[in-house]
Copies of this chain bind each other. A is one copy, B any other.
Amino acid sequence: MDWKPNTDSHLTLHDQIIDWIKERIEKGDWCVGTKIPTQRQLAAQFNVNRSTVQLALDELRAEGLLQSKRGSGVFVSNSSWNVLVNKTNPNWQQYIEGSVHEPNYHTIQLINQYEQVDHIIRLGTGELSPDLLPTKQLEESLKEISLESKAIGYSSPRGSKALRTTLCTYLKKKGIYTTPENILIVSGALQALQLIAVGLLEKGSLVFQEQSSYLNSVHPFQSAGMRVMSVLRGKNLPEHLRRLKKNKQSLFYCVPTLHNPTGYSWTLEERIAFYQTCKELQIPIIEDDVYHELLFTSGIEPIKALDTSGQVLYIGSVSKTLSPGLRIGWVVAPPPVIERLADIKMQTDYGSSAFSQEIVAHWLSTGLYENHLGQLREQLKIRAEFVEKILYQKFQSLANWEKPEGGFFIWLKFKKPIVNKALFLNLLKRNVLINPGYIYETRDLYHIRLSYAYASLEELEKGLDILFEVCSEY
């Protein structure tokens, strides 16, 4: 896209621009319905006057290749494919729109998009700051990795035996006693959900979750044709689930430790009651436990540690703790389930990166991982306290929050329902990106998922200043 017209050419500038735009359309870079950049943007890109651009666009409009829509810009027109000599380009836009997978919500797409932009302050990002990743240590550790030819071929369906064996030892410390046959290595927790969705559930099955849920911002179950239903924990849960479930297949997806987005951790009593309820109602549990390592005070065990009946599918990962770029997570479940998920994983991507698996096995077995976790928790605590201090100073009249017990997030609750798309966009104009509550629960206009894990302290301070200013105006 850094093409410029050539001032030494025998062609006029505007003819060169016309040719370039036609080429974009012809090659499918700009397919039917694409909104093209504004005149101002094109003029800046081409380093020409706006009038030159205007001339070119007028001519393309006259040829029927572009069309203007009042107030919303200039688009590649529907007739463009017929006009061009080359009539037979596949119309990819039509393929895209008709396809099976649901498009992501617009706000989430904007978040994904602006997370790639450098100067944006990311107040909501659920990921470790580059500063918190042990990059140099990882680089050093690469020198100690020894590879075996068998290990870097196609993976066995369940993943590296060495990693699964090390994981068994690691999981014991959390109260989970298991064997390598009960473990599947996956490319992150989200892939685990995807495999469960296509591998274990009928279309139309119910997936229960708590209100405000990470599952509403990703769509592994919805895309596979399952119905996701939010419920509240508490006394009425058994009755409520019984009524909703009827005879349908169902699962309960939960994050009992450092819940995403609320940061809440269930008490032991809550865990026991919940487990008993699901067991009684024959509702298998997916326990997403990817934040467990980040509890500031350890102690509470996963629900899986209570599980005597293979009722719980347990999911862990190093994405929140060591490096998301490794793309390594794991599922612990009864062998028939693991076999089934492994079979689908093989059909999907032939296993996770052997190199990533070697690295994780190395970090787990040498103790590098636990050392790093200790330091990481300290750093996150400092960041949490830093943000809490700012909140106390500025936001007490506007919002409430709980002191975080670990992880990345403070679930900031505003006293008025001001967290709507307009607020999101206003902040974005000021280069501040937030994760509004409504992406986790459509009707929620009260919350922001504030992350103290990603932005630098300086950015956090500046971002919260802007957040305060913008919110005060509402």
Residues of A within 8 A of B (CB): 1, 26-31, 34, 86, 88-96, 98-101, 103-104, 109, 112, 115-116, 127-128, 130-131, 133, 135-136, 138-139, 142-143, 145-157, 179, 181-182, 187-188, 190-191, 194, 197-203, 218-220, 223-225, 249, 279-284, 308-311, 319, 323-327, 334-337, 340, 343-344, 346-356, 359
Contacts and interface: CB of A to CB of B under 8 A. Distances in A.
A92 B334 contact: yes
A171 to B, nearest CB: 15
A199 B101 contact: yes
A89 B311 contact: yes
Contact of A198 (B99, B154, B157, B326): B99
A227 to B, nearest CB: 14
Contacts of A138: 147, 152
Among A115, A139, A153, chain B packs the most CB atoms within 10 A around the CB of A153
Nearest to A23: B308
B335 A89 contact: no
A109 to B, nearest CB: 7
B350 A327 contact: yes
Given A153-B130, A181-B1, A349-B187, A100 B198 contact: yes
B348 A112 contact: no
Contacts of A282: 88-91
A112 B343 CA distance: 9
Contact of A153 (B99, B199, B323, B351): B323
A301 to B, nearest CB: 18
Contacts of A156: 116
Nearest 9 pairs between A and B by C-beta?
Answer: A325-B354, A28-B310, A130-B149, A28-B334, A353-B353, A152-B325, A90-B284, A98-B202, A142-B142
Contacts of A327: 349-354
A112 B156 CA distance: 9
Contacts of A219: 347
A116 B181 CA distance: 14
Contacts of A136: 147
A154 B325 contact: yes
Nearest to A182: B29
